[in-house]
A and B are shown apart, each in its own frame.
Chain A
Amino acid sequence: AQSVTQLGSHVSVSEGALVLLRCNYSSSVPPYLFWYVQYPNQGLQLLLKYTSAATLVKGINGFEAEFKKSETSFHLTKPSAHMSDAAEYFCAVSGLYSSASKIIFGSGTRLSIRP
């Protein structure tokens, strides 16, 4: 069964610094992978998705993620953090299930931005 692990429940960076949020997955075959962002008291918003095309995926708000099969990773990055990036980020994986209707979410990483 698929699973996804987000390393670090809380990440804090300075404004203008690199943002790196880590996500590792376990899957017997390359899955579909997603990153979502959640602002306080709001629903989740899709940032980007990997569906077996280009391994470097660009998303909204300047974020991108790289699929590395050898490392089973799909880390999210942004070159320069902005105060508005402060939010909860979820990595998710879709793969081979008995039901093809679900995706599995990681436990989330809270990103804080220091002025």
Chain B
Amino acid sequence: SQTIHQWPATLVQPVGSPLSLECTVEGTSNPNLYWYRQAAGRGLQLLFYSVGIGQISSEVPQNLSASRPQDRQFILSSKKLLLSDSGFYLCAWSVPPPGGQAFSYEQYFGPGTRLTVT
């Protein structure tokens, strides 16, 4: 069966410090990978998604970046954190739809990372 891991589970960082959040998936190959953020009391905001190694699509311009150095590894980074970067960060994966299919399959989420920028 497939599992998805995120670490760290919680993180408290000062403004201006760097950030690195990691997500790994086990039990599947060539998944689509996603990073979401939930601000307090808000819904899900898609930040980045990736359909393959080195392929990153950005949804929201900001001071965050993402990388996919390996097939099942997805990293979210920042060089300098802002107060507004605080939130709950979720990684997710899905099976890529077959070629020519326009519908995306369901996504499976990790346990999340709670980031507090002070």
Binding site for B on A (CB under 8 A): 31-32, 34, 36, 41-46, 49, 51, 90, 94-97, 99-103, 105-108
Contact = CB atoms under 8 A, between A and B. Distances in A.
Interface of B: 32, 43-44, 46, 49, 51, 57, 88, 90, 92, 94, 96-97, 101-112, 114
A96 B102 CA distance: 5
Given A41-B114, A42-B112, A96-B102, A101 B96 contact: yes
Given A43-B109, A44-B90, A46-B108, A100 B102 contact: yes
Contacts of A108: 43-44
B109 A97 contact: no
A36 B38 CA distance: 15
B31 to A, nearest CB: 11
A100 B112 contact: no
A102 B110 contact: no
Nearest to A95: B103
Nearest to B9: A41
Nearest to A98: B102
B102 A102 contact: no
B51 A34 contact: no
Contacts of A32: 103-106
B51 A101 contact: yes
B43 A100 contact: no
Of all A-B residue pairs in the complex, the 4 with the closest CB atoms, nearest first, are A43-B109, A94-B104, A107-B43, A44-B109
Contacts of B105: 32, 94
A43 B111 CA distance: 4
A103 B104 contact: yes
Contacts of B103: 31-32, 51, 94-96, 100
Given A101-B96, A106-B43, A34 B106 contact: yes
Contacts of A100: 97, 101-104
30 contacts: A32-B103, A32-B106, A34-B106, A41-B88, A41-B112, A41-B114, A43-B92, A43-B109, A44-B44, A44-B92, A44-B107, A46-B106, A51-B103, A94-B105, A94-B106, A95-B102, A95-B103, A97-B104, A100-B97, A100-B104, A101-B32, A101-B49, A101-B51, A101-B57, A101-B94, A101-B97, A101-B104, A102-B104, A103-B106, A106-B43
